[in-house]
A and B are shown apart, each in its own frame.
Chain A
Amino acid sequence: MRMTKALSMIALACLASTSAWAQKTDIQKIEEYRAMLADGNPADLFEAKGEGLWKQKRGPKNASLEQCDLGKGPGVVKGVFIELPRYFADTKRVQDMESRLLTCMETLQGFNAAEIAKTPFGKGEQNNVTALAAFISAESKGMKFNLPQAHQEEKTFYEVGKRLFFQRAGSHDFSCASCHKDEKLRIRLQDLPKLTSNPGDGIGFAAWPAYRVSNGQLWTMQLRLNDCYRQQRFPYPGFASDATVALGVYLGVNAKGAVSTAPTIKR
């Protein structure tokens, strides 16, 4: 009788330790799976499409984007992504990559920026903006984030972004900080980066744009923020609105020194 009890205790102990050990292996297995996916990242296809769109004459003005100033002079694409969002003298405002693309698509190619901003993700010109974003971010792959904070507007946007990050609202009283202000938080098996400081190379702000395997879509930071707000049960922010740009400034400045690996691959 005692022997059976002892045996069953050992069996239970074995089961308990196996499941604890198995849980660690699951996360390890997910990391291995992600490493396997990284080779042959479909984001490459979006990059190639974006590069073509950058050079292609399009829009009512039948012009290419090759004269677009993304912060380092007309036509310079290499190294611009890691310095965005930043202040632009010609538009007198702080702009992120997608916002600046809209400016160039309007001034150089004659598209209606407001129309594109109103277009839902995945439809019409938004698909082209996504591809262009993938291309532009890829041209800074391996470089460290270094957003400028010299202009007063850039500093103001950082502070606005910080307020927005911590602002609790909506039906569930969520804020960005609810998920992203501490280390070692996760949603189910998805680790959440701490975004109030540099979370590391290729993490957080340094991980987007990214290709999401689960829905086969390439998400830019604009779509990532849009979906964060959706998950917080907030109204959707305007595409490339000041609020989203301010958050980008806050996250990007916090990530100073982090290596960009965009476009990455995600679950």
Chain B
Amino acid sequence: MADPMRIRAQVAGDKATVRVLMAHDMETGTRKDGAGKIIPAWFIQEVTVTHNGKTVLTAEWGPGVSKNPFLQLVVKGAKIGDKIGVTWKDNKGGTRSDEATTS
């Protein structure tokens, strides 16, 4: 499994601000290594965020997203103690899921 994500979810009123840092190289597929060979494309294609099991965000990413991507979103109707789940899938079939509790 890939390196873990850092998820922080802070509740203010009836909304939770969720901040996610994902560990991923995000290669565009156009860079060349020292020997001149193209480094193959390797990037996150799908991101899903769930709130207590219910999907609240899906994203389709491409090579334009930078290395170690940062995602921030606001989840309405969140309370302290709720579960926020984040899953990503990349173009090589790699995947990673992490969960955090709102505070």
* Size category of the binding interface on chain A: under 10
- Residues of A near B20 (CB, < 8 A) are 40
In this complex, what residue of B is CB-closest to A44? B6
Q: Is the CB of A45 within 8 A of B67?
A: no
Q: Is the CB of B4 within 8 A of A48?
A: yes
- Residues of B near A49 (CB, < 8 A) are 3
Query: Cβ of B41 < 8 Å from any Cβ of A?
Result: no
- Residues of A near B72 (CB, < 8 A) are 39-40
Q: Give which listed residue, A40, A45, A48, A216, contacts B19 with CB less than 8 A.
A: A40
Among A40, A41, A48, A216, the most chain B Cβ lie within 10 Å of the Cβ of A40
> Chain B nearest CB: distance from A142 CB in Å?
18
Q: How many interface residues does B have (CB within 8 Å)?
A: 12
- Residues of B near A216 (CB, < 8 A) are 66-68
Query: Cβ of A42 < 8 Å from any Cβ of B?
Result: yes
- Residues of A near B66 (CB, < 8 A) are 216
> Chain B nearest CB: distance from A135 CB in Å?
13
With A39-B19, A40-B19, A40-B21 as contacts: A48 and B68 at CB distance below 8 Å: no
Q: Is the CB of A45 within 8 A of B3?
A: yes
Among A39, A42, A48, A49, the most chain B Cβ lie within 10 Å of the Cβ of A42
In this complex, what residue of B is CB-closest to A211? B68
**A146-163 interface code vs B (CB 8 A; 1 in, 0 out):** 000000000000000000
**B15-28 interface code vs A (CB 8 A; 1 in, 0 out):** 00001110100000
- Residues of A near B3 (CB, < 8 A) are 45, 48-49
Query: Cβ of B61 < 8 Å from any Cβ of A?
Result: no
Residues of B4-18 at the interface with A, using a CB-CB cut-off of 8 Å, are 4, 6
Q: Is the CB of B23 within 8 A of A40?
A: no
> Chain A nearest CB: distance from B82 CB in Å?
21
- Residues of A near B67 (CB, < 8 A) are 42, 216
> Chain A nearest CB: distance from B98 CB in Å?
11
Q: Is the CB of A42 within 8 A of B68?
A: yes
> Chain A nearest CB: distance from B9 CB in Å?
13
Residues of A39-61 at the interface with B, using a CB-CB cut-off of 8 Å, are 39-42, 44-45, 48-49
- Residues of B near A40 (CB, < 8 A) are 19-21, 70, 72
- Residues of B near A41 (CB, < 8 A) are 21
Residues of B59-82 at the interface with A, using a CB-CB cut-off of 8 Å, are 66-68, 70, 72
**A27-40 interface code vs B (CB 8 A; 1 in, 0 out):** 00000000000011
Q: Is the CB of A45 within 8 A of B23?
A: yes
Q: How far is the CA of A49 from the CA of B66 in the complex (A)?
A: 20
- Residues of B near A45 (CB, < 8 A) are 3, 6, 21, 23, 68
Residues of A120-139 at the interface with B, using a CB-CB cut-off of 8 Å, are none
- Residues of B near A44 (CB, < 8 A) are 6, 21
Q: How far is the CA of A48 from the CA of B3 in the complex (A)?
A: 9
- Shortest 8 CB-CB contacts between residues of A and residues of B: A40-B70, A42-B68, A216-B67, A45-B23, A44-B6, A40-B21, A44-B21, A40-B19
Q: Can you name 9 A-B pairs with beta carbons within 8 Å? A: A39-B19, A40-B20, A40-B70, A42-B68, A42-B70, A45-B21, A48-B3, A216-B66, A216-B67
Residues in A lying within 8 Å of B, measured CB to CB:
39-42, 44-45, 48-49, 216
